[in-house]
Amino acid sequence: MSKNESLHKVLKALLRKPLSQSNIATHLTTEVDTKTVSSTLQTLIDKELIVKDEKDPLYKLNTPIPFCSVIILKTTWMFKALLCPLGYTEEIATVDLKTTDNIDGLIEQIKSSIKEFKAIYLNNEDCIKSVLIAIQANIEQGEDGLLNSSPCLNEKNIPLASLLTNSLGIKTVAYDYAYSHKLSIRNNPTFNGENALTLGCSKGGVAIGILTNGQIIDGQNGTPINCSHMPYKYGFEQSLGNHSDHDTDALMYAIQTLAPLFNLHRVIVYGSTFDDHIEAIYKVQHELKQHQDPFFHDFVVEYHSYEFDEKHEELMILSYEALIDTLNFND
C-alpha cells in the first residue's frame, strides 16, 4: 500500500466518527505495523487534517479543513447545489438552480453555482476538490457515471460523471438520488437494515433496495435496481409511487415478488405515499401473516416517515471520499 493510499484510507475512516489508533490500523491492513500507523497519523496531524483528542484518546478530522465538495441534487422536483467543507455533516450554503432538461444547461447551472460559492464563501478558489451529482436516474454509479436514462434529462447513454469532470475541471462522481436513502437505512442503527427489502415510495417513483449482510445489492456496473418494467397490471410505479387505489396491492406484490428471491423477511417502507395512509402497512402485515405460503408468516413490515430529502450526510460522505482521492501527499 502506497503512502497516499494509507493516508486516504485513514481520512475516509474518520469521516463517520473519531477512532483510536488500533481502530484505524484495522482500516489500513492487518500487515501494517504500529510504527507505520503512527507515522501515517503524524503526517496527517502535521498537515493539519486531523487532530488527536488527548482525553479519549481518539483521532478525528480537524475542522475547518480548507477543502470543499459541491453536491448537486437533480430530480423532477428539485435542482440545487450544496457547498460542503470536508468533515462537515451539513452544508454551509445552498443555491437553487434554474430547471433544465439537457446536459448543456446542467453544466451551465453547475458552473454558475460554483462561481457563486467561490465569490461569496471561499477565499481560495482551488479549494473545491470534488463534485457529486445525485440525480434521479438509471445510472452506473461512480466516476464514469454512464447515465442510461433519466426523467430529468433528455440525453440518454451519456458518461455523465466524466463529462462533468472534463467540463468543470473538477473530479466528479455521479449517483442515483435514492442511493443515499439506502445508505442511510444500512448505516443508521434505528432501521436495523442489515438484511432487508427497502421500498422508497414517494413523488411518483419507487426506489427498491436489497440489503444483505450489510451490503447494498446493485445491478450491472453499479446501476440501481430498476423497477419501472415490473409487470404489475396497474403500473408499478404509478400505483406505489403515490397514494392510489392500488398502492396497498402494489406493496403486497412487491414484497411477494422480491423478498423471497433474497430470503429477506424484513421490509422497510419509507416515503410520502403512506404518510396519511398508514393503515395500509398494517393491512399488508396482516395479509402476510395469513398468507397461504408459510414463508411470509414471520415477515416484519416497518414504515418510517423519514424526511430523507433533508438528510444529505451520506451524500456528503460519498463526495468527501471523492475529494480525499484527489489529495496528493507526495508533493
Query: Looking at the 3D structure of the chain, how many domains does it have?
Result: 3
Could you give the CA distance from residue 328 to residue 8 in angstroms, rounded to a whole number?
9
8-state DSSP, 225 = P
42 within domain boundaries? yes
* Same domain flag for 127 and 241: no
Could you give the CA distance from residue 139 to residue 147 in angstroms, rounded to a whole number?
4
The owner of cell 424484513 is 266
Could you give the CA distance from residue 117 to residue 128 in angstroms, rounded to a whole number?
9
Measure Cα distances from 75 to 52, 122, 175 in Å: 40, 27, 12
Residue by residue, pLDDT tens for the chain (331 residues) are 688 888 999 999 999 999 999 888 887 765 666 788 888 899 999 999 999 987 778 999 998 788 999 999 999 999 999 999 998 989 999 999 999 999 999 999 999 999 999 999 998 878 999 999 999 999 999 998 899 999 999 999 999 999 999 999 999 999 999 898 888 888 887 777 788 999 999 888 899 999 999 899 988 888 888 887 889 999 998 999 888 999 999 999 999 999 999 999 999 998 888 888 899 999 999 999 999 999 999 999 999 876 555 568 899 999 999 999 999 887 6
Domain of 194 in residue numbering reads as: 183-308
pTM of this structure: 0.91
Residue 284 host element (H or E): helix 279-289
The dihedral through the CA atoms of 146, 203, 151, 267 has a sign that is positive
User: To the nearest 10°, the Cα dihedral for 201, 278, 268, 182?
Assistant: 40
Could you give the CA distance from residue 70 to residue 245 in angstroms, rounded to a whole number?
40
* Same domain flag for 136 and 154: yes
Closest CA to 226 of 237, 240, 235, 234: 237
CATH of the domain at 228: 3.30.420.40
Residue where one domain finishes, among candidates 177, 199, 223: 177
Q: Phi/psi zone of residue 244: left (φ > 0), alpha (ψ -120 to 50 degrees), beta? A: beta
Residue where one domain finishes, among candidates 161, 177, 193: 177
55 within domain boundaries? yes
The owner of cell 445489492 is 217
Q: What are phi and psi of 72, to 5 degrees?
A: -105, 125
* Same domain flag for 165 and 204: no
**Whats the size of the chain, residue-wise?**
331
Contact present, 141 and 176 (Cβ < 8 Å): yes
CATH of the domain at 13: 1.10.10.10
81 within domain boundaries? yes
